[in-house]
Amino acid sequence: MAFPRPKPTTMETLAMERANPPFNIRKMSIAMHGSEKALILKEKFMAEIARHPAFKLSDIHDLSKDELRERTMEKFASMVYFVTNESLETFQLRMQLIGIADPSFWTRFGVAYGLFLGALRSGATPNQLSYWIDRGVLGLNGVIGCFAMTELAHGSNVAGLETTATFDRGSDEFVIHTPHLGATKWWIGGAASTATHAAVFAQMIIDGKRHGVKTFVTQLRDTKTFTLMPGVTIGDIGKKMGRDGIDNGYIQFTYVRVPRAHMLMKHTQVSRDGVVTEPPLAQLTYGALLGGRTSMVTDSSNSAKKALTVAVRYAAVRRQFATGKNELETQLLDYPIHQRRLMPLVAQAIAIGFTGLRLQVMYEDMTQALDTMEPSDPNLNDILDKLKETHATSAGLKAFCTWACLDTIDKCRQSCGGHGYSAYSNFPLMYADFAVQCTWEGDNTILSLQAGRSLVGAWGGAVKGKKLAPGVAYLNDSSLLSAKSDSSLSLSDIQRAWNCVAYNVIKKAAEEYVALLKSGKSKDEAMEKCSQSRFIAAKVHTIGYIFRLFKEAVEEMKDDEESRTLRTVAKLYGLWQIEEQQGYFLKYGYFNAQQIDKVQEAVDALCLEVRGVAIPLIDSFALSDHIINSPLGKWDGSVYESYFAQVQAANPLPKEHPYFTRLIKPLLERQNEDMEDPGSAMGLDDELKEIEEERKGE
């Protein structure tokens, strides 16, 4: 008698997926993290926070808003130790990991250190910065900062902020005031419960003249009693879509006085007599924005990798339906359509990760150049051109990378079926926590248009024969206007495809803009009228830029199994995105219809190829079970056991039903009373019959 082959357990299935990978997972992981040092530090950080009681994550889905906020504050003490004892590079890597594990804390801590301290570093003079550091900014012993930029009626338009800072020459003070409800500072992380000081963005007014938005350090609370300072009104803006560990609040100022020295004066100075000196190079203020955008590109990759770790491992162990003559149900990951759902997203997350690594190097080089640059520097114009290009490129990358990550999280959730909808899958919290990235530090659509505006400007420079910065240098190559594929679908063919289409869509946006100017429109009106073309230009340029940085990173590696696998991943990313945006490639003739069919076939084949190494690739993301915090993505494959245990532990049945007596029992025991029929009680039908007979007798 033949017995059916026993079904392998989920743990056995995942172990088989992991067996004999074609590349060294450790070496692949080092490549993805930029260095062995960065990977070792990450592993150290993961071990530390896994054992820290404040970083318990398994119960996070069942905590209330107030409990989340309290736990967020519990983490501060441990992080203060590290921020004051580690190098900046090491601490940034630590916070990068914590941003994946606990986005609420990452944001709340980032408000104090990234935004408030960042405002001081980028806007204060050396003496001002020393003053605030002496008063405890670094150790949070005397100053806990927040970043008061956005207002109820203004967000992205910083120049339009309406809080005022009016100089009082007699007292040598600025008077900070909220003139109306719309000027209320809103969404201010840390304001509701924890901040003592704020970096307040306000319109500077001297002798009735406005000088634009400047930054003023303003005390909110007494550091001993924590009571609000005179003239300061603060409230809580309540529950949000996600990141409830952050105490976002609103602030209103009623003629609050701050010393003139509390205005940050690195760029613009105001003397005791009220004389204003503006910076000789206003463009230098761009540099302050690049750090945040760079970190958001990296965070987009890391958060997408977290979601994909769960979805791909689950797809490997989940079996649904038997196909063909197979006795076993088929692994989800073996279905071509499921490979299509996830493998391109894996390629995209890896591509964005390599882009983030290279962008960080560019940012550090740019920061160093800006810190040492003088107005008399002979390389001034080249540096400023590169700064403008990096600023615009980072705007597009922030927008399209955060959009890509949010889309990845939701597609991963859907790919896990009903279990993906459970809070314990961690997808709902991942999605809710990440969604804000598409809005803060610049709304994505607005940032896309900024990038598009810069590309239109770059096109104008190329037409005049100007040698462009590296990121847009392809606009100097007019042969791209009518370039055609060589049908190889190689990495170089894919790169030329993106350059060709980006060249053409930027040309279209620029020509629209010029035509609108000639028709009599102002520069601003013309830019607005061609906004859709600018948006398309930014999108195509940014996708091509991500591909180029990924391709360059891979081609710089020595030829081994790891680099060959990454070349396959890069090819999948580039061709999948061509397929997604195929209309533009057909429109500008780089590919014909038959070649686009070949692109689709190539993507199918590449998805299958990447599927073969999917679990080792996911393992190289190096995310511990504690960090991903999802039973569906357990490293050992114990999906159902872990899921059941977590649900059972988090939802014990109460000894007494909480509302049986009050609500359910009366419902079950209600008496169905016989309802009286008014017609029968009246004898109405008989009466109507008599009336009818009388009518007939007449």
Q: What is the CA radius of gyration of the chain?
A: 31
Give yes or no for a contact between 627 and 46, defined as CB atoms under 8 angstroms apart: yes
Residue 417 annotated as lining a ligand binding site: no
* Residue 252: partners with Cβ closer than 8 Å, 6 or more residues away: 178, 184, 185, 232, 233, 234
Cα-flanking dihedrals φ and ψ of residue 167, to 5°? -80, 130
Q: Number of H helices and number of E strands within the chain?
A: 26, 11
H or E element at residue 496: helix 491-518
The rounded distance, in Å, linking the Cα atoms of 581 and 535 is: 14
CA 453 to chain centre: 22
* Residue 628 CA: distances (Å) to CA of 16, 303, 305, 429: 22, 10, 10, 11
E strand or H helix at 258, and its extent? strand 256-259
Give the angle subtended at the CA of 292 by the CAs of 144 and 458, to the nearest 5°: 150
CA dihedral 421, 427, 430, 436 (to 10 degrees): -50
State the Cα–Cα distance between residues 514 and 142, nearest whole angstrom. 55
Catalytic residue among 441, 512, 555, 562: 441
679-683-684 Cα angle (round to 5): 60
Strands of 363-442 (E only): list them: none
**Which residue, 433, 434, 424, is CA-closest to 58?**
424
Distance CA 67, CA 55 (A): 13
Please indicate whether residue 441 is annotated as part of the active site.
yes
**CB contact set of 229 (below 8 Å; sequence gap of 6+):** 219, 220, 221, 222, 256
- Cβ neighbours for 518, distance < 8 A, ≥ 6 positions apart: none
Bridge partners for 164 per DSSP = 177, 203
The closest alpha carbon to 263, from 130, 135, 167, belongs to: 167
Q: CA distances (Å), 604 to each of 131, 340, 579, 610, in order? A: 60, 7, 11, 10
Query: What span, in angstroms and rounded, lies between the C-alpha atoms of 95 and 83?
Result: 10
Alpha carbons 683 and 458: distance in angstroms, whole number: 91
Return the bridge partners of 252, or none: 233
List all residues 6 or more positions away from 601 whose beta carbon is below 8 Å from its beta carbon. Answer: none
Tokens for 471, please give them. Answer: 């990121």
Q: Which of 581, 484, 489 is nearest to 538 (CA)?
A: 581
150 assigned to a ligand binding site: yes
Return the active site residues: 441
Binding residues for FAD: 150, 189
Binding residues: 150, 189
